[in-house]
Amino acid sequence: EGVDSTARIRVEIHFDDAYSEIAPMVRACHDHGLAVRIFATGYSFGAERVMPGDEFLSYLNHDFGTTTAASRRAANGAAEKLPADGTRADEWHRFFCDLWRDDPDQAKGILDQVRASSDDRPPLESVVMSPAELQGLSREGCLVGAHGYVHTRLSGRSADFVAADTDRITELVAEVDAVGATHFAFPYGSDSDIDATAVATLRRAGCTTLYSTLGRDVEIGGAPILGRFQVGNLDGLNFAECLDRCISTLLVDDGLDSLGSNHFLHDVVDVLEDTGW
Q: From CA 209, how far away is CA 155, in angstroms rounded?
A: 17
List residues bridging with 183 in a β-sheet.
209
169: CB partners within 8 A, 6+ apart = 40, 41, 42, 146, 147, 148, 149
pLDDT less than 70: residues of the chain: 1-10, 58-90, 117-125, 230-277
Angle (CA) 88-220-260 rounded to 5° is 95
pLDDT at res. 75: 46
Q: From CA 270, how far away is CA 277, in angstroms rounded?
A: 10
Q: From CA 81, how far away is CA 101, in angstroms rounded?
A: 13
238: CB partners within 8 A, 6+ apart = 277
HSE (CB half, 13 Å, CA atoms) of 183?
Answer: 16
pLDDT at res. 45: 94
How many other C-beta atoms are found inside a 10 Å radius of the C-beta of residue 14?
20
1: CB partners within 8 A, 6+ apart = 7, 9, 10, 11, 35
Alpha-helix runs per DSSP H in the chain: 23-31, 52-60, 64-75, 89-102, 104-116, 131-139, 159-174, 196-204, 236-251, 261-274
> pLDDT tens digits for 60-86?
654 544 444 445 444 444 444 445 555
Q: From CA 152, how far away is CA 221, in angstroms rounded?
A: 20
Note the pTM of the prediction, 2 decimals.
0.73
Q: From CA 226, how far away is CA 256, in angstroms rounded?
A: 18
**Residue 98: helix, strand or coil by DSSP?**
helix
